[in-house]
Chains A and B, each alone.
Chain A
Amino acid sequence: MKLITHNILQNNMKDGKKGYPLVLQATKIDKVIAEFNQEFLLRMLDRLEYHVLIHALEMIGMKDFLPIILPENCSEDEAFMKNLHHALLEIDIIEGELICPESGRKFPIKDGIPNMLLTDEEEMAVDSEPKSK
């Protein structure tokens, strides 16, 4: 699981509040190589929760290569965009777990794949109220 996915993942179980962002604990991390695409990164920036990304990097002990606050005119900052690319797409969480900040429910990550499966009881508690657009 890359951090771009961590940035959009949430636990849908109704626990009062929303299950986002998920706490990330990693025991095994791989580095992969992804093709740099400036346009894709710009498109992701408009939906990214930047502070969640920074916090995720912190939780896996890699916080130092991105600024804590998103820089202004960051799209023109080549070094920043390269680092953002690396943070979102080249860090692969292989083993670990995701933890719901609200309920404490743990979702294990094995061989790079988070297990988001709920039990039948938990399924009953999924928030399926439609949201307006």
Chain B
Amino acid sequence: MSALSFILAGMLAAAMPFLLAALGELVAERSGVLNLGIEGMMALGAVVAFIVVRHSGGHAMGFVAAGLASAALSLVFAWLALAVRSNQVAAGLAIGILGQGLSALFGKGYESLTVPGLPKLAIPGLSDLPVIGGLFAQDAVVWLGLLGTLAIWAAMRFTKLGLVIRAVGENPHAARALGYHVIGIRYGAVAFGGLMAGFAGAYAATVYTPLWAEGMIAGRGWIALALVVFATWMTGRVFFGAVLFGAVSLSQLAAQAGGVALSSQLLASLPYIVTILVLGVISANKRLLKINGVASLGEPFGP
């Protein structure tokens, strides 16, 4: 298998934890709430999914449980940020740390255990193509994740719900004056972000590397957060950034395996550098930032 086909076959799966978490965060941020607890919510989702799958509840059950657990944790954050109106940065960090702590606690007895992964579902014909064939053989979550990306893009762009979320994020006071329930909409958006972070964690722990190790999320939640900002809150760019990150991660693995004469530390940092550079250049467009940026992001709102 050539390096290129290796990268093409694996990049969507590698991108999935970033993509799912970042899409959820995108919706939350578009409504004006900055949830910095994504990393912890992914960690909680990961351990819950792992435990459910390990006790053979199946992957579907694992994902549902993970999503609900993380959504519940995100509602605690939402309560702090929206009802108590505490500082969103501090509340997000605190809840994130809580999530990581809970993850370590629940995962104590599962260290180094494994669960079965998911089979690849191939598109007949396309998956037999040379070099790019691997791209068309992915597990069910990847296929659902791609559909979900499309659905979120369309929802934010074309539906009333997306319009309302954007309006609430731009000017909560005006939205309230029009009669929208700003706090309720923000609760919903944050809970959706938590749900997606739970799915992302579940994918990382039970599909991508189906083996439990404490701290296995390893900063992927933070990358997801950065992706949202660098992607200027646009769904398509979040997708592009996540896949780019996945592809570069795999190519540095391929390079290490192929014996490229560079220090492994340097190679390991490559995905971060490339993603920041590419998305940094894209997001240098101030006009786009201003038009897509969320004007009320992180500001507490009270009637």
A binds B: no
Interface residues of A (CB under 8 A from B): none
